[in-house]
Amino acid sequence: MKRRQFIATGAALTAALARPNWLNALEPDNRYRKEIGIQLYTLRNEIAADVAGTLKAVADAGYKQVEPYGFPGADAMIREAKANGMAVNSSHINTDGILKPDQKGVQPFEELLDKANEFGLTHVVVPYLGAELRGSLDQYKKVAEQCNVAAEKAKRAGIQLAYHNHAFEFKPLEGDRCGYDVFIEEFSEDMKFEIDVFWVAVGGHDAAEWIRKLSGRVTQLHLKDLDRSVSPPQYDGIPKQAFKELGNGVIPMEPILAAAAEAGVEHCHVEQDHSPHPVQSIRQSAAYLRSL
User: What is the C-alpha to C-alpha distance for residues 33 and 122, in angstroms, rounded to an integer?
Assistant: 20
How do strand 243-244 and strand 225-226 relate by DSSP bridges?
antiparallel
Q: Where are the domains of the chain?
A: 31-291
For 112, residues 6+ apart whose C-beta sits below 8 A from its C-beta are 71, 72, 93, 94, 97, 124
Taking only the tens of pLDDT, the chain with its 292 residues reads 444 443 343 443 333 334 444 444 446 667 888 899 999 999 999 999 999 999 999 999 999 999 999 999 999 999 999 999 999 999 999 999 999 999 999 999 999 999 999 999 999 999 999 999 999 999 999 999 999 999 999 999 999 999 999 999 999 999 999 999 999 999 999 999 999 999 999 999 999 999 999 999 999 999 999 999 999 999 988 999 999 999 999 999 999 999 999 999 999 999 999 999 999 999 999 999 988 7
User: Which residue type is seen at 60?
Assistant: D
Residue 29: what pLDDT?
66
pLDDT tens across 113-124, in order? 999 999 999 999
Backbone CA torsion sign across 18, 21, 22, 25: positive
Phi-psi region for residue 247, left (φ > 0), alpha (ψ -120 to 50) or beta?
Answer: left
Name, in order, each residue with C-beta under 8 angstroms of 102's C-beta and a sequence gap of 6 or more.
none
**Dist CA 56 CA 276 (whole Å):** 20
Q: What is the structure's pLDDT at 132?
A: 96
Beta-carbon count within 10 A of 120 CB: 11
DSSP alpha helices (H): ranges in the chain?
3-18, 21-24, 31-34, 44-49, 51-60, 75-83, 96-99, 109-118, 137-156, 179-186, 197-202, 207-213, 253-263, 278-291
The pLDDT assigned to 6 comes to 38
pTM here is 0.90
Query: What pLDDT was estimated at residue 291?
Result: 85
Q: For 28-47, write each residue's pLDDT tens digit.
A: 667 888 899 999 999 999 99
CA distance 9 to 264: 31
- What pLDDT is recorded for position 10? 40
Q: Which long-range contacts (CB under 8 A, 24 or more apart) does 235-239 make?
A: 235/167, 235/168, 235/170, 235/171, 235/202, 235/203, 236/168, 236/171, 238/167, 238/202
| Domain 31-291 class, CATH top level | alpha beta
pLDDT of residue 27: 62
Q: Which helix (H) or strand (E) holds 270?
A: strand 267-270
CA 57 distance to own-chain centroid? 21
